[in-house]
Chain A
Amino acid sequence: MTTNPTPNPQHGHHQPRIAIARNAPEVYKAMVALDAAAKKGLDPALVHLVKIRASQVNHCAFCLDMHIKEARKEGETEERVYLLNAWEEAGAHYSAKEQAALALTEAVTVLTDGFVPDAVYERAAAHFDEPELAQLIALITTINAWNRFGVTTRMTPGQA
């Protein structure tokens, strides 16, 4: 007996609506350069957590699939991945620095509810020096951009 249903070709393997890389190649090239620049100087484990959390908040299936697989491949635990959606209730699983970064990730991702509160910013600033904090903001911003491309073009999980 299997617990994993066969993917429904009508739903699970839809085609993307449009290919950004093909139709806007200069934009795509700049985005790849931006992505490489954004993660510089940051702990790779933290980078994965931030990318996964932003992708959860923005509901990007393609991005979740990609970044969870990357995180797992680089040794992240299954537990820390699946608790990420409720990290504030699972504080023991994340360092104070990671929690500060996750709070900032949520604030910068959900601008529609209003601003990035001083408390959230200061909490991050207490754990990250200025260059690191700037990189962290750049990282959060860049994954938000990939989330927008992924969701808008309806990219299929697992089919990069």
Chain B
Amino acid sequence: MMTTTTGSARLDFYKRAPGIYQPLLNAHIAAKKGLGDDVLAELVLIRASQINHCAFCLDMHVKDAQKAGISEERIHLLNAWEEATGHYSAKEQAALALTEAVTVLTDGFVPDAVYERAAAHFDERELAHLISLITTINMWNRINVAVRQPIGGGA
């Protein structure tokens, strides 16, 4: 019989830094609302969480994506979306490319080609909220990885 270890977080983060959760949640909700596309939002949230290796976030957003009606196939292929372009719209692909560029700043900048590709599919308001959503999931990823938030343990 397999034993699963649930473990506990390194730190009860939101309790120890009580002023953080609400503004972070506010930023995230405003970003998602302003983007106005829950399916696209979940694809972005999963892809960023894959790149940042956040198990807690992956678990949460894969489940949310399933609830939002995204197919298992589209979720599984997300890690290799550039090789599976038949499964994602041009707009989704532009958003995923931007997600990767904004998430991996350490390799250098957000290229004009990536930015312009997104700007061709999103108006300024949508684009500002897409950039915001990529940024807020990067924050959740950082907190949950840093404190080693157990999967399914609630934020």
> Among residues 9 to 47 in chain A, which have CB atoms less than 8 Å away from a CB atom of chain B?
17-20, 22-24, 26-27, 29-31, 33-34, 37-38, 40
Contacting B110 at CB < 8 Å: which of A40, A114, A151? A151
* Residue contact B109 to A59, C-beta cutoff 8 Å: yes
* Residue contact A31 to B102, C-beta cutoff 8 Å: no
* Residue contact B105 to A147, C-beta cutoff 8 Å: yes
Q: How far is the CA of A125 from the CA of B13 in the complex (A)?
A: 13
A83 at the A/B interface (Cβ < 8 Å)?
no
* Residue contact A23 to B145, C-beta cutoff 8 Å: no
**Contacts A27-B34, A38-B20 known; A134 to B13 CB distance under 8 Å?**
yes
Q: How far is the CA of A142 from the CA of B106 in the complex (A)?
A: 16
A23-B124, A31-B23, A37-B23 given. 9 additional CB < 8 A pairs? A24-B129, A26-B30, A27-B136, A57-B105, A58-B106, A109-B106, A111-B142, A112-B103, A141-B142
Interface residues of B (CB under 8 A from A): 10-13, 16-17, 19-20, 22-24, 26-27, 30-31, 34, 51-54, 98, 101-106, 108-110, 115, 119, 124-125, 127-129, 131-132, 134-136, 138-139, 141-143, 145-148
